């Protein structure tokens, strides 16, 4: 007969559950001999099962149970006389697993304890083996260098050399096919070979404005003398002059011929135009306009409203950079503000043109001839070109023969994927125009080679780097605009910054850095670092950092979607008010090896750009400084005569909140314990989106919609305030001269001072609300997190 020990947990019967002990332990019981006599010898061997009433398992038999807790589980089974045990029902197939061994119960308990400690020792030994294994086995991924590691930066910069850039440039310029498509396909193969695993080559069919089969001409009707744009008489041109003269044109100008008098309007300001209108009939006349002081598109909008029919553009020798020979050199400009002109609002007078004016760039020598100006010289003693007060205005015939053509442009885009935030993009852009690319493509290839080399050594960036080489840049940043519009939804949510290599070395006199206010501090730090070891051996220029708007592919990203931008470049002149927009003139590009034979300037730009990229893709907290935005806003509102008190109060409040917010962002930037991934990600999104508050719906032609970028001037000022002061005068000047209204006139005339101040106030308050939202991230975030 077999028995089972049972117990009552909290007074309830334990029924139906039988657990076997793993150690083959024997149960003892303490029954009186009288109780066992009637069972006879059959009690010598029985099968016993021990049930632990508290846990499933029985590593420790524990003390003998209390007799009061023993009770029968069912009336259907036989019960021992004293009720301490109950018999199992008889089973003919039951096999005994346990044999009652003779001996004292203390010996059996000793065996149990020994077995328990033995098993525990084995477990500790196995656990120690596992800990040792994982402690000495290398991880699947190699260790990643921290973003603030000077070793990583030094290693990256050590891989960038002038010799390597020189070799890349020679390879790029030795292509037998000089077309844009051939250059784009070459870059695609290069980037794949340098280690980028995701490279894409795309094309867009766009409307291009190209030179005609014959050069544009300017003919003096009194002498019947025909001139080419550079001032050479048409009958004296040589075989080598034709390509140069075909380069000198205004892309997307109206085509045709126009007869009219030459009117000197200097820089085309409102005051210049008022003086001209008061003394002359300007309808269908031809204006002589200097580049500089204001965007070209803004000037042309004013001239069109006044009724001019044509425009001759030139650069005054007094404004020209040192060494730039502009007397007999014409240039190219584009009237395309950006994107594919096939989808833009074109002039009703001429399909494919972006203005109703015939526009033609000319040399300073030809301008002097047409103005009958006595001016000569250049430099400090230079006298600006101007028509003498009593001089007779020349009558000329302007002929423009540009051609429109639909062609494909090509963009090359490659991705270096990030690890923690692969959906946050740092864009690096250059251009591969056949005539304006310069050394930008060589610098870009060197940057890709240096960064991918670090990834092969185990470094993985936090964010994704997107390398872009644009096509169609010279005719209005067409490639960058088309790619940007196609990906605008993604870029608005994912683009972190844009680092520009539009034209990195266009001179050797001045190292200039341009950045949005968010990145001014980072840009200044990088420039100071590089100037410590600059290439001039002690004659280095000081830091020159500003937030001036400049032409180039950076336009779309700064002006349309408010992505923080930065650019380093060497140039020939400082960005002064009169000369700031001379970069709108595109001269025949000098070869990089001619401009920088040792490629030392290219190396400097490459290293500065590489450091910026590394900081932007690797810093846990983006190196953006919201306080710089607030200070920039206050600096632009210093002219208190036109600023209301609510506007000044809002600017002051923005500064206070931005200062506190910036101090809070330093916590996760400096303390790794504060770097909760979700928290830091939200913080970075606030920093990234701050500039978006300063986008206005519309701005005058050629002026950025992003209020944080300014035009050069003696005092810092919001661009729309500067042009709002001219708006009323402009409307008064043009009210009688123009019979029909246009979209451009409506924008200019309605951009009054009050409306402009209202837009600025709205932008400041929007930025302040975003900063306060960022502060809430710290106030509402738990500080007791693990």
The pLDDT tens digits for 241-274 are 666 666 899 999 999 999 999 999 999 988 899 8
At residue 576 the predicted structure's pLDDT band, cuts being 50, 70 and 90, is: low
Amino acid 376: pLDDT: 63
- Cα 728 to Cα 717: distance, rounded to the nearest angstrom: 18
Q: Which two tokens stand for residue 232?
A: 């050479």
User: Coil, strand, or helix at residue 157?
Assistant: helix
pLDDT per residue as tens digits for the range 354-369? 889 999 999 999 999 9
- Cα 3 to Cα 20: distance, rounded to the nearest angstrom: 13
Residue with more model confidence, 695 or 82: 695
Q: Which residue has tokens 């002929």?
A: 399
Of 379-393, 584-598, 687-701, the range with the highest mean pLDDT is 687-701
Q: Please check the confidence at residue 226 and state whether its pLDDT lies above 90.
A: yes
Q: Which two tokens stand for residue 436?
A: 């304006």
Whether the predicted model's global pTM rises above the 0.85 cut: no
Amino acid 763: pLDDT: 95
Q: Which two tokens stand for residue 339?
A: 């994107």
What's the rounded mean pLDDT across residues 729-748?
A: 51
pLDDT per residue as tens digits for the range 21-52? 344 434 343 444 344 344 444 444 444 444 34
Amino acid 123: pLDDT: 74
CB neighbours of 253 closer than 8 A, spacing ≥ 6? Answer: 209, 335, 353, 355, 357, 358, 359, 360, 400, 402
Q: Please check the confidence at residue 104 and state whether its pLDDT lies above 70.
A: no
Amino acid 434: pLDDT: 65
* Percentage with pLDDT > 90 across the chain: 45
pLDDT per residue as tens digits for the range 6-26? 344 344 444 333 334 344 434
- Cα 767 to Cα 286: distance, rounded to the nearest angstrom: 45
Which one, of 229, 246, 228, lies nearest residue 237 by Cα?
228
Q: Which two tokens stand for residue 139?
A: 């991880």
At residue 121 the predicted structure's pLDDT band, cuts being 50, 70 and 90, is: confident
Asked if 94 and 2 count as a contact pair (C-beta separation under 8 A), the reply is yes
Asked if 601 and 572 count as a contact pair (C-beta separation under 8 A), the reply is no
- Cα 747 to Cα 741: distance, rounded to the nearest angstrom: 11
- Cα 482 to Cα 500: distance, rounded to the nearest angstrom: 17
At residue 106 the predicted structure's pLDDT band, cuts being 50, 70 and 90, is: low
CB neighbours of 3 closer than 8 A, spacing ≥ 6? Answer: 29, 46, 48, 80, 85, 86, 87, 88
- Cα 398 to Cα 260: distance, rounded to the nearest angstrom: 8
Q: H or E element: which one contains 158?
A: helix 150-158
pLDDT per residue as tens digits for the range 399-410? 999 999 999 999
Residue with more model confidence, 53 or 618: 618
At residue 599 the predicted structure's pLDDT band, cuts being 50, 70 and 90, is: very high
What's the rounded mean pLDDT across residues 611-633?
A: 94
- Cα 200 to Cα 438: distance, rounded to the nearest angstrom: 23
Q: Which residues, listed in sequence order, are joined to residue 403 by a DSSP beta bridge?
A: 210
Helices H, strands E: what count in the chain?
Answer: 22, 20
Asked if 291 and 265 count as a contact pair (C-beta separation under 8 A), the reply is no
- Cα 282 to Cα 270: distance, rounded to the nearest angstrom: 14
Q: Which residues, listed in sequence order, are joined to residue 425 by a DSSP beta bridge?
A: 464, 495
Q: How far apart are the first and last CA of the chain?
A: 60
At residue 761 the predicted structure's pLDDT band, cuts being 50, 70 and 90, is: very high
Amino acid 775: pLDDT: 87
Q: Please check the confidence at residue 71 and state whether its pLDDT lies above 50.
A: no
Pairing label, strands 463-470, 421-431: parallel
- Cα 18 to Cα 249: distance, rounded to the nearest angstrom: 100
pLDDT per residue as tens digits for the range 518-574? 999 999 999 888 776 655 444 555 567 889 887 789 999 999 999 999 999 988 765
Q: Which two tokens stand for residue 689?
A: 């989106």
E-assigned strands of 112-252?
198-210, 217-220, 225-227, 250-251
Amino acid 634: pLDDT: 93
* Percentage with pLDDT > 70 across the chain: 70
Pairing label, strands 545-546, 510-515: parallel
Which one, of 690, 668, 663, lies nearest residue 679 by Cα?
668
State the average pLDDT for the chain. 78
- Cα 468 to Cα 583: distance, rounded to the nearest angstrom: 22
Q: Please check the confidence at residue 289 and state whether its pLDDT lies above 70.
A: yes
Half-sphere exposure of 625 (CA within 13 A, CB side): 14
Q: Which two tokens stand for residue 579?
A: 């000369």
- Cα 738 to Cα 736: distance, rounded to the nearest angstrom: 6
- Cα 508 to Cα 594: distance, rounded to the nearest angstrom: 11
List, as own/partner pairs, every contact residues 774-783 make where C-beta atoms lie below 8 angstroms and the sequence separation is at least 24, other chains included. Answer: 774/661, 774/664, 774/665, 774/683, 774/686, 774/687, 775/657, 775/660, 775/661, 775/664, 777/679, 777/682, 777/683, 777/686, 778/664, 778/667, 781/676, 781/679
Residue by residue, what is the 3-state secondary structure of 245-266?
HHHCCEECCCCEEEEEEEEECC
Q: At what angle do helices 296-305 and 270-279 cross, to 10 degrees?
A: 30
Asked if 248 and 229 count as a contact pair (C-beta separation under 8 A), the reply is yes
Q: H or E element: which one contains 470?
A: strand 463-470
Q: Side by side, which strands form the sheet with 310-314?
A: 225-227, 217-220, 395-400, 256-264, 286-290, 310-314, 358-361
Residue with more model confidence, 45 or 768: 768
Burial of 666 (0-12, 13-18, 19+ CB in 10 A): exposed
E-assigned strands of 114-243?
198-210, 217-220, 225-227
């Amino acid at each position: 007969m077999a028995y089972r020990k049972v117990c009552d947990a909290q007074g309830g019967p334990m029924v139906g559950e039988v657990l076997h002990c793993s150690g083959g332990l024997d149960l003892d019981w303490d029954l009186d001999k009288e109780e066992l006599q009637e069972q006879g010898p059959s009690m010598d061997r029985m099968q016993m099962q021990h049930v632990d009433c508290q846990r499933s398992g029985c590593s420790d038999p524990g003390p003998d149970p209390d007799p009061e807790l023993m009770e029968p589980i069912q009336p259907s089974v036989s019960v021992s006389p004293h009720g301490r045990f109950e018999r199992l029902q008889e089973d003919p197939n039951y096999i005994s697993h346990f044999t009652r061994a003779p001996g004292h119960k203390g010996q059996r308990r000793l065996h149990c304890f020994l077995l328990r400690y033995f098993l525990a020792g084995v477990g500790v030994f196995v656990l120690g083996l596992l800990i040792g294994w994982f402690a000495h086995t290398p991880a699947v991924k190699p260790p990643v260098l921290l973003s603030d590691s000077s070793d990583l930066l030094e290693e990256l910069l050590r891989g960038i050399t002038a010799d390597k850039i020189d070799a890349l440039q020679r390879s790029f310029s030795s292509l037998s096919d000089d077309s844009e498509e051939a250059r784009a396909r070459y870059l695609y193969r290069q980037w794949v070979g340098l280690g980028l695993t995701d490279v894409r080559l795309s094309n867009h069919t766009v409307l291009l404005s190209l030179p005609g089969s014959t050069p544009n001409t300017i003919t003096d009707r009194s002498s019947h003398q025909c001139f080419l744009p550079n001032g050479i008489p048409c009958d004296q041109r040589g075989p080598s002059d034709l390509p140069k003269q075909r380069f000198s044109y205004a892309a997307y100008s109206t085509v045709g011929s126009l007869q009219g008098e030459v009117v000197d309007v200097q820089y085309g300001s409102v005051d210049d135009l008022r003086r001209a209108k008061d003394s002359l009939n300007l309808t269908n006349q031809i204006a002589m306009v200097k580049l500089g002081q204001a965007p070209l598109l803004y000037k042309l909008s004013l001239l069109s409203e006044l009724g001019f029919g044509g425009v001759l553009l030139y650069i005054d020798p007094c404004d020209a950079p040192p060494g730039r020979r502009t007397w007999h050199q014409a240039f190219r400009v584009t009237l395309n503000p950006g994107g594919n002109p096939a989808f833009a609002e074109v002039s009703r007078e001429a399909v494919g043109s972006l203005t109703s004016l015939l526009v033609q760039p000319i040399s300073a020598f030809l301008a002097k001839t047409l103005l009958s100006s006595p001016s000569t010289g250049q430099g400090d003693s230079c006298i600006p070109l101007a028509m003498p007060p009593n001089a007779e205005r020349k009558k000329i015939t302007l002929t423009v023969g540009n051609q429109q053509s639909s062609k494909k442009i090509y963009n090359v885009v490659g991705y270096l994927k990030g690890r923690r935030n692969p959906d946050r993009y740092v864009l690096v852009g250059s251009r591969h125009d056949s005539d304006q690319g310069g050394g930008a493509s060589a610098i870009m290839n060197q940057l890709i080679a240096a960064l991918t080399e670090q990834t092969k050594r185990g470094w993985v960036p936090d964010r994704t780097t997107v390398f872009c080489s644009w096509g169609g840049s010279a005719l209005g940043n067409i490639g960058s605009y088309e790619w940007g519009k196609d990906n605008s939804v993604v870029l608005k949510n994912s683009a972190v910054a844009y680092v520009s290599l539009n034209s990195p070395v266009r001179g050797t006199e001045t190292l200039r850095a341009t950045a949005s206010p968010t990145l001014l501090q980072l840009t200044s730090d990088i420039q100071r670092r590089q100037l410590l070891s600059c290439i001039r051996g002690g004659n280095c220029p000081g830091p020159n950092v500003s937030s001036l708007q400049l032409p180039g592919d950076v336009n779309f990203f700064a002006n349309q979607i408010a992505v923080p931008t930065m650019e380093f470049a060497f140039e020939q002149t400082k960005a002064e008010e009169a000369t700031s927009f001379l970069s709108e003139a595109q001269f025949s590009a000098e070869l990089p090896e001619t401009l920088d034979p040792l490629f030392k300037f290219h190396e400097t730009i490459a290293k500065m750009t590489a450091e910026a990229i590394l900081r932007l893709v690797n810093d846990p907290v983006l190196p953006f400084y919201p306080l710089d935005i607030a200070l920039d806003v206050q600096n632009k509102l210093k002219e208190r005569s036109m600023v209301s008190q609510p506007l000044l109060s809002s600017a002051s409040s923005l500064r206070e909140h931005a200062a506190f917010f910036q101090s809070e962002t330093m916590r996760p930037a400096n303390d790794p314990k504060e770097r909760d991934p979700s928290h830091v990600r939200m913080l970075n999104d606030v920093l990234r989106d701050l500039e978006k508050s300063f986008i206005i719906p519309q701005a005058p032609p050629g002026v950025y919609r992003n209020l944080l970028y300014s035009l050069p001037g003696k005092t810092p000022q919001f661009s729309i305030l500067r042009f709002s002061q001219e708006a009323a005068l402009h409307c008064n000047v043009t009210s009688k001269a123009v019979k029909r209204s246009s979209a451009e006139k409506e924008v200019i005339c309605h951009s009054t001072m009050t409306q402009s101040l209202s837009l600025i106030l709205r932008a400041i308050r929007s930025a302040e609300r975003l900063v306060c939202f960022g502060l809430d991230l710290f106030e509402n975030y738990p500080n007791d997190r693990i």
